[in-house]
Chain A
């Protein structure tokens, strides 16, 4: 039972990380949106798995919320934005695909390195997945700094949040529910504000390429 639990969690966490890597080798925004959707759904599944085997009822609720907010609501809004900016592709990111994948590999390794004391401190069956969560956090951070389209950056940010949520679920079986609700509220509000700004960037600059945002350079 214990080993099934551990294996299932590592499998799901790996999937969550792999969906994060999609941002590095695909160029079209629809691919990003579906990668994020699938990632959020698998993350919801992680919450349910940990809730079931770890006997944490609260995690069912968190899992449901993850699926609803990040697996359904946000992807819909993202889809609307993506259709609006269909012509905008991530043509020439600051770092090319091959280098990006290499960097991502190194970042995942780095995630393993810095998480060693954390994994060593834990005796939970879920501990093997935690470095993967850190890997996703670092890779998403890299996506945000190396990509030029505002929409790609938003998806990168959302994946960063997913990485942290995964870390919380695996490491602590979920942070206290009331705090978690606040975090969800912030995530949703933050996304909505970013969405407003992406539309505004588009109407002001007629592109969502943030490389064009260079008026304020001193």
Chain B
């Protein structure tokens, strides 16, 4: 039942948008309402997991939601709802009916593939779903056809598909190992079965498999050096899609890495997977942070910040139980903060007509609320209190010391400081000064500020306390991933 609530609404919305032509606003409203049903589905899973259940559905454990799946399901359904409410096709947002229809079809399919990827128990299906996310999201990047968006979508679809194909090669190698040592079984691709079989698997084969899997899913997660598609795709996509791609698609790809990491840790022992992950993590953090300084476009600034945070999450994954706790909290914070920021950036872009930082000035006078939220969000993203990311970054630093990696912690802090300064300089330029004479003053579509303000409130709450319901979920995740 919970699974039906979670998965069916997005399919239904996509179908609705497909059959109703031409597009009508009613389709958008139905989509918006249904997106809340999916959130309700995720919440029922959450409640059941906190009660100690592990909800399962379908033949051969097709669907299974432990704490890790539930966290991701919450993030994905939440951000998808945000995109459904604020995406093209509701209110006066400058998109045409054809574009709105295309967005409603593919954004919902995109949400469905992500939700399915994190709730299926089968690694094969998970791969199929994550590959499908590339297809469903790529067609939406050039929603507004321009040379830049065509270029961005080509890079994304090619690099994403090749990367994910390598992850499949890794999956095949792992399955090969299972078949060779244990025998052919239809359920061999289930997480639960793999996890139980992990002690008996051949470490040398699994090591090779994991390298492929990490490069593959790492490409989708925007890990350096496979990140080159990300700044282009995230900055050229329509704002609601950028929110989904940056807020949760990266997290879904990381989810796949975390699941495999748990298997590899049992087969090979602690150390191998962690070393590779931390290497790519620090590299991503470095490239993300250093690129922040030199950016001229605020949308690319947000994209590079996503690479930085993905790197940070990876560093956390390598630091033992405390680190995994911090990483998962950071993943949650990043989903909320980055989806909000890309939607706000969309409002700024619409008003100023340029994505260049140079072209935006006096934001606080032009749109006081949007500007205020944007400033607060930026401060949250660079890890200032009282926002959630400060807490998760602090927890990560503590985990680093607890794991006896002071040098690693020093490098991470230094890179975070570089990104911090870089963002502040750009932010200052955008917020103050005289607005360009062509720009009209005052907010438009004010109601859209309500959900965005909700995100900000959530970030502050996560910065001040750690609600018991979230703490319980994270503790259970740590027990699964890093016992």
| Residue of B153, B168, B189 contacting most chain A CB atoms (<10 Å) | B168
- The residues of B that contact A194 with a CB separation of less than 8 Å are 157-158, 161
With beta carbons under 8 angstroms apart, the residue of B132, B158, B186, B231 that contacts A186 is B132
Say whether chain A's binding surface is mostly helix, strand, loop, or mixed: helix
Bound Cα distance A141, B163 (Å): 10
A175–B162 contact, CB under 8 A? no
Bound Cα distance A100, B148 (Å): 30
With beta carbons under 8 angstroms apart, the residue of B150, B158, B173 that contacts A118 is B173
- The residues of B that contact A216 with a CB separation of less than 8 Å are 148, 151-152, 155, 231-232, 235-236
A200–B131 contact, CB under 8 A? no
Bound Cα distance A118, B142 (Å): 42
B409 an interface residue at 8 Å Cβ cutoff? Answer: no
B138 an interface residue at 8 Å Cβ cutoff? Answer: yes
Distance between B414 CB and nearest chain A CB, rounded to angstroms = 23
The residue in chain B whose Cβ has the minimal distance to the Cβ of A215 is B148
A189–B132 contact, CB under 8 A? yes
Residues of B187-239 whose CB lies within 8 A of A: 188-189, 202, 204-205, 208, 231-232, 235-236
A144 an interface residue at 8 Å Cβ cutoff? Answer: yes
Q: A176-B186, A218-B295 are in contact. Are A118 and B154 (CB under 8 A)?
A: no
Q: A144-B162, A172-B179, A210-B154 are in contact. Are A182 and B125 (CB under 8 A)?
A: yes
How many contacting A-B pairs (Cβ < 8 A)? 137
The residue in chain A whose Cβ has the minimal distance to the Cβ of B171 is A175
Residues of B116-146 whose CB lies within 8 A of A: 122, 124-125, 127-128, 131-132, 134-135, 138-139, 142, 145
- The residues of B that contact A164 with a CB separation of less than 8 Å are 165, 168-169, 172
With beta carbons under 8 angstroms apart, the residue of B132, B152, B153, B172 that contacts A167 is B172
- The residues of A that contact B173 with a CB separation of less than 8 Å are 118, 167, 171
A40 an interface residue at 8 Å Cβ cutoff? Answer: no
Per-residue B-contact encoding for A206-217, CB less than 8 Å = 1, 0 else: 000010010110
Query: Which of the segments A4-12, A22-30, A70-78, A153-161 contacts the partner chain?
Result: A153-161
A1 an interface residue at 8 Å Cβ cutoff? Answer: no
Bound Cα distance A114, B208 (Å): 8
With beta carbons under 8 angstroms apart, the residue of B122, B138, B158, B208 that contacts A157 is B158
With beta carbons under 8 angstroms apart, the residue of A141, A176, A200 that contacts B124 is A176
Bound Cα distance A215, B161 (Å): 22
A204–B172 contact, CB under 8 A? no
Distance between A166 CB and nearest chain B CB, rounded to angstroms = 10
- The residues of A that contact B205 with a CB separation of less than 8 Å are 117-118, 121
Bound Cα distance A173, B147 (Å): 45
Closest 7 CB pairs of A and B: A179-B124, A182-B128, A117-B204, A171-B176, A213-B151, A186-B131, A216-B232
Question: What is the interface of chain B, defined by CB distance below 8 A to chain A?
Answer: 122, 124-125, 127-128, 131-132, 134-135, 138-139, 142, 145, 147-148, 150-155, 157-158, 161-162, 165-166, 168-169, 172-173, 175-177, 179-181, 184, 186, 188-189, 202, 204-205, 208, 231-232, 235-236, 291, 294-297, 300
Question: What is the interface of chain A, defined by CB distance below 8 A to chain B?
Answer: 114-115, 117-118, 121-124, 137, 141, 144, 150, 153, 157, 160-161, 163-164, 167-168, 171-173, 175-176, 178-179, 182-183, 185-186, 189-190, 193-194, 196-197, 200-201, 204-205, 210, 213, 215-216, 218
18 contacts between A and B (CB under 8 A): A117-B208, A118-B173, A150-B154, A157-B162, A167-B169, A167-B176, A176-B188, A182-B124, A182-B128, A190-B161, A194-B158, A197-B153, A200-B142, A215-B147, A216-B232, A218-B291, A218-B295, A218-B296
